Structure 1
Amino acid sequence: MDVVLITAAAARHDYVFDGEGRVTDSLPALSTLASDSAVFSCAYSGAPASKTTMRVLLTGTHATGQSAAELPTLLERFEDAGYATAAFHGNPDD
């Protein structure tokens, strides 16, 4: 099974999803991918800032917990299970 995790910081829910939880036509490539995928349209942020939220998402811990360097990440857990992993981002500040 292939696993693709797509995250978008500061994307408004009503821009990405319609009232039925389907990806809107405003993102045609994502809409095409979503049509043959499991999509989770209800999400909750683990912290008020994107950088901390990503740490929460990738380590499965609370925002006030340990530093990320001390914890295995989601990618490491997939690697341990035999998956090839990669990560890409477009934030020039990270």
Structure 2
Amino acid sequence: MNTVNASTGFSGLQLHLGRSPRVIPPIIPCELPVDASGAIETAKSIINRLADDVADARDNLLLSKITQSHYANASCSPDPQFKCGDMVMLSMAN
């Protein structure tokens, strides 16, 4: 679940929680600010970082989609050009 996705460039938990989980608990516990203004600023920074990560992931997905379509269309043959009066064979299987 903590594996970085090749298309988005982020792990699933990072996009969901805003950070990657720690495997080993920290030796020194992280202290959150006691006053309300510090907590509000911390919450705002987490939300902004999460919004930036999601926007970057969307950009990376769009880039992946464009790259995949470019390489998929490179091997396609052009559509046949039919004119009125051309004889064609149709499948009546279904």
| TM above 0.5 | no
In the superposition, the TM-score normalised over structure 1's length comes to 0.25
The structure with more radius of gyration: 2
Q: TM-score scaled by structure 2?
A: 0.25
